[in-house]
């Protein structure tokens, strides 16, 4: 499980290592990725549009994409708790 995917930009070496992990896990292990970034923004995270496309390809191959919306559930819980006090 990768949470906050795309939050930090990776250098080229880090992006290549992550690509290798996804490639090794493809079709044999489940990988969950949580992100607030749209696919169109991932090229900033990986710094290389071609590598970004390859990573997105590995992640989305035979995947189930679950879009939960744009509102943070953490913020929603905090607001509900604050109102309940």
pTM of the model as a whole? 0.71
Per-residue tens of pLDDT for the chain, all 85 residues: 888 887 788 888 998 999 999 999 888 888 888 888 888 888 888 888 899 899 999 888 888 888 877 677 778 888 888 888 6
Give the H/E segment covering residue 16. helix 12-25
Alpha carbon separation from 28 to 18, 21, 22, 24, 68 (Å, rounded): 16, 12, 10, 8, 26
């Amino acid at each position: 499980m990768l949470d906050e995917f795309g939050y930090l930009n990776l250098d080229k070496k880090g992006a290549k290592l992550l690509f290798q992990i996804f490639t090794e896990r493809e079709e044999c292990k489940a990988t969950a990725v949580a992100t607030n970034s749209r696919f169109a923004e991932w090229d900033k995270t990986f710094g290389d549009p071609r590598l970004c496309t390859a990573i997105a390809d590995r992640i989305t191959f035979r995947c189930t994409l679950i879009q939960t919306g744009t509102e943070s559930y953490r913020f929603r819980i905090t607001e509900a708790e604050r109102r309940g006090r």
